[in-house]
Chains A and B, each alone.
Chain A
Amino acid sequence: MKKSRVGQIVLIALLGLLLAACGGAPAASSWPGITVDEASDTAYVAYNQNVFAVQIDNGAQRWAFRPEGNSFQTYAPPTLTADGQLLIAGYDHILYSLNPASGAQNWAFAGGGNRYIGGALESGGTIYAPNSDHRLYVLSPEGALLNSSFSASEPLWSQPASDGSVIYVAAMDHMLYALDESGDILWEQDLGGTLIGSPVLSEDGVIYIGTLNKEVLALDSSNGSRIWTFATDGWVWGSPAVVDGQIFAGDLEGIVYAIDAERGTELWRVTTAGEITGTPLVIGENVYVVNENGDVVSVTLEGSVRWTRNMERPLYGSAVQAGELVLIGMTNVDTIVVALDENGDPVWSFIPAE
């Protein structure tokens, strides 16, 4: 009888492990979010259960932040505010403010009802934190709640954008919302598909955004009306990049598009070997994208592939500029960030200190 009881306990433990392995949360549920501050020569990397400050010129670790407890995870690119705070969006329902120089915690706002998946926005000294509980939390620079009156009908996963007076919030309920500084809706527009990437504002008052309805859209920022619609082959997960009258966007079919910003017509397309989930990075005459096949692909502004480097791991999110370097976030490997030069050669790799 005792033997059979031991057998049952072992069986139950095995079944539990099996269930966790088959459908439970993976070790990391997203990819590294990277923010660069060239003034302090630092890249801030949010990945899984840590935030790291990494020296840009050599990849050395300056500090690491990890709050107590096991529920903390973070993936959104940290937000640097004008008053010198580093905002960290936690899966533990907490928004943290750190000192960017030391990694010491300034404050923590624990009023969110679910995960913070997208990063917070700071505009005019106010903090706007989108949460998966559908709400946008408006906070003072000290982390005090000012209001949380705005609520979408589905989660908010993307960082809001602002032109200094209006806050633009992309929601998973297919809607783009324009809010005033207190969170009241000025206008809303149904874009026909889930919005994961942030809206991008041009200087001439046009909003560019990609949707899971396989479209890149140009909208009038004053009322949200469509200026043009560009159909893509796959879901557009990341934000478009806007450079010199051209829009660059990638989709989950692995295609990079260059679109005329004024007319919404295709200038060229390049097909890569895996899903593109990030925003194309434009540095000078070159466009960089990463894909799920593990490729970093460099394309000229005319649409010719310069080089492709395979990193032997699936790559998600965006390549990030750090001076003349291109930073690539890695997943499921000890190395979290690799810095490449403009020819695709590795300059340094960041492996967190023990």
Chain B
Amino acid sequence: MEFLTVPFTNALVFIYDILGNNFGLAIIVFTILARLITYPISAQQMKSAKSTQEMQNHPRMKEIQRKYKDDKQKLQMEQAKLMQELGINPLASCLPLILQIVLFIAIYGAVNRTLAATPLQLLELGRSIALPNASELIPLNSRFLWMDLGQPERLYLDFLPFGIPVLTILVMISSYFQGKVMAPTSTNPNDQGAQMARSMNLTMPLMMGYFSLLFSAGVAIYFFTSNMFGIAQYYIMRRPKAAAATAVVSGSSTPPNSQNKPN
């Protein structure tokens, strides 16, 4: 993963330098840039997921599921045949997803490395940075708002005996909404994909919240920004389709996915 983590670390430190040594802003800008660069990949994944979801609502799919509900092998064969006929590649959404996970791990590694809270981490950071003014920039100013970005985030208020994990709460809420808007809506009661997505929508926020609670605040900021970008991306991708659908409806024609509930 070094081939990605090292350039990401340099990019992060470069942005930090440009933004007047504000590491919190640098993480936010870096996350948005990384998500913009990988936009075509995530867009393709969302389109593939949408196609698969639409197939679940296809009348022939429901017919196949009803007809072969006691013969799983036959059911799978018929589903595969239908996918082929509709031109849907079941693996098309997998590759972008794998690429996104790889990028996520590299970005996470870069944020962690740049925060360098121990001697070995600082040595690693020194080896990674190729910027000529690295000596002047290190150590990076890890203060952002009330947070030390190298430590798990808590907001301490005078009247409370404990710290509030504000970022953890924000990450959980944004993870939930991201999952909710992206979850396939299906009228097909046998749609396992939709069932799994609903289940994931409950477990993912918990997992992301757990990571945010334990990991450094810098990583939690990355999670939150990335989630917000994902939600924004969904609405941006959805807008032209909604407009097109409105146009079709006004022409007294039924769009192919008109049975989907609005999200």
Mostly, the B contact residues are helix
Determine the chain A residues whose CB is within 8 A of the CB of B75 once the complex forms: none
Residue in A1, A15, A154, A192 whose CB lies within 8 Å of B195 = A1
Determine the chain B residues whose CB is within 8 A of the CB of A4 once the complex forms: 192, 195-196, 199
Give Cα distance in the complex from A5 to B200, angstroms. 9
Per-residue CB contact flags for chain B residues 76-120 toward chain A (1 = under 8 Å, else 0) read: 000000000000000000000000010001001101110001111
| Chain A, range 154-199, C-beta contacts under 8 Å to B | 154-155, 157, 172, 192-194, 196
- Tell me if B135 and A212 are in contact (CB < 8 A): yes
| Chain B, range 16-67, C-beta contacts under 8 Å to A | none
Number of interface residues of A (CB under 8 A): 42
List the count of A-B residue pairs having beta carbons below 8 Å apart: 86
- Tell me if A194 and B200 are in contact (CB < 8 A): no
Determine the chain A residues whose CB is within 8 A of the CB of B199 once the complex forms: 1, 4-5, 8
B131 interfacial by beta-carbon distance below 8 Å? no
B138 interfacial by beta-carbon distance below 8 Å? yes
Nearest residue (CB) in A for B108 is: A23
B247 interfacial by beta-carbon distance below 8 Å? no
Per-residue CB contact flags for chain B residues 107-142 toward chain A (1 = under 8 Å, else 0) read: 011011100011111110010000000011011010
B151 interfacial by beta-carbon distance below 8 Å? yes
Determine the chain A residues whose CB is within 8 A of the CB of B242 once the complex forms: none
Residue in A16, A19, A28, A193 whose CB lies within 8 Å of B135 = A193
- Tell me if B151 and A29 are in contact (CB < 8 A): no
Nearest residue (CB) in A for B109 is: A23
- Tell me if B136 and A117 are in contact (CB < 8 A): no
- Tell me if B119 and A117 are in contact (CB < 8 A): yes
Give Cα distance in the complex from A345 to B192, angstroms. 67
A69 interfacial by beta-carbon distance below 8 Å? no
A275 interfacial by beta-carbon distance below 8 Å? yes
Determine the chain A residues whose CB is within 8 A of the CB of B195 once the complex forms: 1, 4
Mostly, the A contact residues are loop
- Tell me if B118 and A30 are in contact (CB < 8 A): yes
- Tell me if A8 and B200 are in contact (CB < 8 A): yes
Give Cα distance in the complex from A353 to B195, angstroms. 53
A105 interfacial by beta-carbon distance below 8 Å? no
B187 interfacial by beta-carbon distance below 8 Å? no
Determine the chain B residues whose CB is within 8 A of the CB of A1 once the complex forms: 195, 199
Give Cα distance in the complex from A271 to B259, angstroms. 73
Given known A16-B211, A22-B109, contact A154–B139 (CB-CB < 8 A): yes
- Tell me if B120 and A30 are in contact (CB < 8 A): yes
Whole-angstrom distance from the CB of B133 to the nearest CB of chain A? 10
Determine the chain B residues whose CB is within 8 A of the CB of A212 once the complex forms: 126, 135, 138
Determine the chain A residues whose CB is within 8 A of the CB of B148 once the complex forms: 114
B207 interfacial by beta-carbon distance below 8 Å? yes
B203 interfacial by beta-carbon distance below 8 Å? yes
Give Cα distance in the complex from A121 to B215, angstroms. 32
Whole-angstrom distance from the CB of B166 to the nearest CB of chain A? 19
Nearest residue (CB) in B for A292 is: B123
Whole-angstrom distance from the CB of A354 to the nearest CB of chain B? 26
Give Cα distance in the complex from A196 to B192, angstroms. 56
Residue in B117, B123, B141, B207 whose CB lies within 8 Å of A275 = B123
B236 interfacial by beta-carbon distance below 8 Å? no
Residue in A5, A8, A132 whose CB lies within 8 Å of B117 = A132
- Tell me if B119 and A29 are in contact (CB < 8 A): yes
Determine the chain B residues whose CB is within 8 A of the CB of A16 once the complex forms: 207, 211
Give Cα distance in the complex from A213 to B137, angstroms. 10
Give Cα distance in the complex from A30 to B124, angstroms. 12
A26 interfacial by beta-carbon distance below 8 Å? yes
- Tell me if A115 and B112 are in contact (CB < 8 A): no
A-B contact pairs, 6 of them (CB 8 A): A4-B196, A29-B121, A31-B119, A31-B120, A132-B117, A235-B126
- Please provide the 10 A-B residue pairs with the shortest distance between their CB atoms, ordered closest to farther: A29-B118, A23-B112, A23-B109, A30-B119, A213-B135, A193-B135, A172-B139, A23-B108, A22-B105, A12-B207
Chain B residues with a Cβ under 8 A of chain A: 1, 101, 105, 108-109, 111-113, 117-123, 126, 135-136, 138-139, 141, 148, 151, 192, 195-196, 199-200, 203, 207, 211, 215
Chain A residues with a Cβ under 8 A of chain B: 1, 4-5, 8-9, 12, 15-16, 18-19, 22-26, 28-31, 75, 114-115, 117, 132, 154-155, 157, 172, 192-194, 196, 211-214, 235, 237, 252, 275, 277, 316
